[in-house]
Structure 1
Amino acid sequence: MDLLTLAGLIVAFTSVFLANWLGGGEVILLLNLPSAIIVVIGSLGAALAQSNLREALSAIKMLSWALFPPAIDLSGNRRTINLLAHKARRFSIIALEADIKALNNIFAMRAMQMAVDGAEPDLLSDRLHDEAERIRDKRGHCISFLESIGGYAPTLGIMGSVLGLIQAMANLDSPEALGHGIAVAFVSTLYGQGFANLVIFPICRKLSRYADLELLNNQMFIDGIHGIATGKHPQRLDLELSGYE
């Protein structure tokens, strides 16, 4: 679990509440359910309107990476490839079939299985590199969907403020109620900016880095398996793969 994500969100929101408290504001004024609904639900609805169901579901699933990132160990995977290269050089690439499941990576397992089955190494490498890029593109579409939520949030926050002001204007005969209504109205703008810049955009940046790391990991597996399939010396192969770390 990535506790740094939780810590970052807690620090960010604490700074807002602390600043409000130090400025003499009432904390209760920052808690407004209608504002949260129009910003969060409204932004999600706008993003859904521009996308499709599969992409939206994939994006929501990928959102879990913020707390539970994919386990990617470039150094460990490099050592695994090196061990497999030594075994293949000592025996043959066919001997690696028993080690395929030990890779513990669906992409690498499929690539190794293709190599063991006798796929032409250069063709295998080209096809897998294209597939790795397509996987990264799909991740990018998911991240773009989430970023669109953050893009709509500030606008929805302004709309919430306008609605709040409309309701506040109905109390012109009561100055006290009018002042309270205006204060609550601007909470929607705060929610829109906060939801976008304290939650959505930082998380999207983190997801983008994980997606880049996943691509790098897949490319390392491809080059490593290609080297094994072509009979490249394990030490030379390991030296070439060191550039991925």
Structure 2
Amino acid sequence: MDRGSLIGLGLAATAVLGGQAMEGGHIGLFVQPAAFLIVVGGTLAAVLLHYPLPVFMQGMRMAKWVFRPPEPEAVTLIRRVVQWSHTARQDGLLALERHVNMTHDPFQRTGLQLLIDGADATKLRDTLDVQIVHFETNERHAARVWEAAGGYAPTLGILGAVMGLIHVMENLTEPGKLGTGIAVAFVATIYGVGLANLVFLPIANKIKFTIARRVSEREIVCDGLMGIAQGDNPRIIEARLKGYL
């Protein structure tokens, strides 16, 4: 569990609601279902129009990384690659077959199989680079779902405020209700700007941070397999890979 994300959300809620209370405002004024529907529903619709459904769904699934990101694997991967290098140095590249059968990650299996098939370091790098770039591109597209939401939400907030003001203008014959009506209208703007800057954009950046780490872990595997293909000493491979830490 990422406690920093929980603390951040708690601080954001405390800052906004606490500031409202300190100014003497009613916190209940923020509870406006119509404004919430306009901002959240409109943002959801815009993002669905912006991205294909599979990309949108992947972005939604990635949101859990804000609180439960994938476990870092860099140390484990370095240890695994060094083990592969010892096996290849002692028993030859064909001995890596048993490691292929024990590895469930498709990227690692591909790299090991290329080694076994006799690919040199350059061809190995070229092949794995294509997979790394494809992996990073797909993951970043999904992260941009939240960036898009952060871009659309403030505009939808303004739209909600304008719609609220139109409703206020329709009731000019009742001056006593104008102040409350205007205040309610601007709640939509608060929803739009607040959700964009306190929720959607931070989620996007947290996901991109995790993606960068996952890409780095694939670079570790690729770099280590290249070292094995070049016949580098396992200790040299280990020392180089520790630079990623």
Q: Same fold (TM over 0.5)?
A: yes
Task: Name the structure 1 match of 2:179.
Answer: 179
Task: Name the structure 1 match of 2:157.
Answer: 157
Give, in whole Å, the separation in 2 of the partners of 1:97 and 1:19.
63
1:158-189 Cα shifts (integer Å, max 9, x gaps): 00011111112222222332221111111000
Percent of counterpart pairs with the same letter?
Answer: 36
- How far off its partner does 1:51 sit? 2.2
Aligned in 2, Cα 1:67/1:103: closer, same or farther, shift over 3 Å?
Answer: farther
- How far off its partner does 1:20 sit? 0.4
Report matched runs for 1:1-245 at 5 Å: 1-100=1-100, 102-103=102-103, 105-245=105-245
Give, in whole Å, the separation in 1 of the partners of 2:101 and 2:22.
57
Aligned in 2, Cα 1:119/1:180: closer, same or farther, shift over 3 Å?
Answer: same
- How far off its partner does 1:101 sit? 5.5
Amino acid at match of 2:136: R
Amino acid at match of 1:53: L
Contact 2:2–2:66 (CA under 8 A) maintained in structure 1: yes
- How far off its partner does 1:97 sit? 2.5
Q: Which runs of 4+ in 1 moved over 3 A?
A: 100-106, 117-121
SS across alignment from 2:76: helix
Amino acid at match of 1:221: V
Contact 2:120–2:230 (CA under 8 A) maintained in structure 1: no
Aligned in 2, Cα 1:48/1:3: closer, same or farther, shift over 3 Å?
Answer: same
SS across alignment from 1:100: helix
Larger deviation, residues 10-19 vs 152-161: 10-19
Amino acid at match of 1:224: G
Larger deviation, residues 101-110 vs 174-183: 101-110
Amino acid at match of 2:232: K
Give, in whole Å, the separation in 2 of the partners of 1:11 and 1:104.
40
Contact 2:164–2:185 (CA under 8 A) maintained in structure 1: yes
Structure-2-length-normalised TM-score: 0.92
Aligned in 2, Cα 1:105/1:6: closer, same or farther, shift over 3 Å?
Answer: farther
Give the paired residue count: 245
Structure-1-length-normalised TM-score: 0.92
1:23-45 Cα shifts (integer Å, max 9, x gaps): 10101001111111111110121
Contact 2:35–2:187 (CA under 8 A) maintained in structure 1: yes
Amino acid at match of 1:144: R
Gaps of 5+ in 1: none
| Pairwise CA RMSD | 1.8
